[in-house]
């Protein structure tokens, strides 16, 4: 693989594995800049962006959140890369009013440490305003990118998709590249089931598809206090109806940050 396709940056001695992860975190920058994939720039702030992701991780992550086949616009009145909130139904463009999206993109793109890039995507609020596809307005570019990163990390380590599981960790636990959601009560990551026997987990299945609700319901220990908390019961009921992974993770994110919810 050439340095260009491997995502190498001139003057930075990253390993091949680190380059692959950086490619994952930079592969959809064109959606933040509002450019179509076929006409997207291959550089931003002097750094390669919008490169193909290795190991088929991008298409597998897309399959976790979007249906297969020719995409069709699901919300006729909304055809932009700004996400619609599942909590309020409103465009998230208003949530970044007054911020500087270009500065955010520059900060994300120029980070040359893949661990720091992973943390930045987990904690960034500006990227939460964007969807992963204009055709599927409730999906989340933030969580699609984190799913791509976790699949790259697992695949490059030699794990197949059918070996992987959704794992529940204690609050504020961050496992580099593999944590896909974090708050102060519980965290979620994707890792090989064989290495997670000390934590509650549910296997992802034989192939990537929109399986969030089914996997969430199969967790043997519930991360929400559904036995005693009516709020948690309602939140759980909603999560059991969402099939798209990036939509569900973003919904958790929005509720955690105080968004109104149905």
Q: Quick one: average pLDDT of 146-164? A: 98
pLDDT band (50, 70, 90) for residue 261: very low
pLDDT tens figures, 195-226: 998 999 999 999 999 999 999 999 999 899 89
Tokens 């904690």, residue located: 123
Helices (H) and strands (E) in the chain, counts: 9, 6
pTM value is 0.90
54, pLDDT greater than 60 = yes
21, pLDDT greater than 80 = yes
| Least trusted range by pLDDT, from 167-171, 207-211, 225-229 | 225-229
- Give the E-state strand segments of the chain in sequence order: 43-44, 47-48, 164-170, 179-182, 186-192, 201-203
| Least trusted range by pLDDT, from 75-79, 111-115, 149-153, 166-170 | 75-79
pLDDT band (50, 70, 90) for residue 260: very low
pLDDT tens figures, 79-104: 678 999 998 888 887 777 767 878 98
**Residue 44: half-sphere exposure toward Cβ, Cα within 13 Å:** 25
pLDDT band (50, 70, 90) for residue 111: very high
Best CA proximity match to 215, nearest among 152, 255, 165, 177: 165
Residue 257, pLDDT score:
75
Best CA proximity match to 48, nearest among 15, 3, 81: 3
Residue 97, pLDDT score:
72
Best CA proximity match to 178, nearest among 121, 106, 256, 128: 121
Q: Quick one: average pLDDT of 35-61? A: 91
Residue 253, pLDDT score:
93
């Amino acid at each position: 693989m050439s340095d260009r396709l491997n995502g190498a940056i001139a003057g930075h001695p990253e390993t091949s594995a680190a380059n692959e992860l950086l490619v994952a975190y930079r592969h959809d920058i064109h959606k933040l800049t509002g450019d179509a994939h076929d006409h997207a720039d291959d550089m931003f702030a002097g750094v390669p962006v919008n490169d193909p992701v290795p190991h088929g991780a991008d298409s597998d992550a897309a399959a976790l959140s979007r249906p297969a086949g020719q995409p069709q616009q699901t919300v006729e009145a909304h055809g932009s890369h700004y996400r619609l909130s599942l909590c309020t139904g409103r465009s998230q463009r208003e949530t970044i009013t007054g911020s500087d999206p270009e500065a955010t993109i520059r900060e994300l793109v120029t980070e040359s440490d893949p661990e720091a890039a992973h943390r930045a995507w987990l904690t960034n609020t500006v990227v939460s305003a964007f969807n992963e596809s204009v055709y599927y307005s409730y999906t989340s570019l933030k969580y699609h990118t984190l799913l791509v990163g976790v699949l790259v990390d697992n695949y490059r380590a030699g794990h197949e998709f059918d070996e992987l599981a959704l794992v529940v960790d204690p609050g504020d636990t961050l496992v580099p590249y593999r944590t896909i959601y974090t708050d102060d009560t519980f965290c979620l990551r994707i890792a090989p089931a064989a290495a997670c026997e000390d934590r509650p987990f549910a296997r992802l299945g034989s192939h990537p598809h929109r399986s969030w609700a089914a996997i969430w319901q199969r967790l043997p220990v519930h991360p929400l206090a559904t036995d005693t908390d009516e709020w948690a019961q309602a939140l759980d009921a909603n999560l059991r109806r969402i099939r798209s992974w990036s939509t569900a993770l973003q919904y958790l994110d929005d509720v955690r940050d105080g968004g109104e919810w149905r």
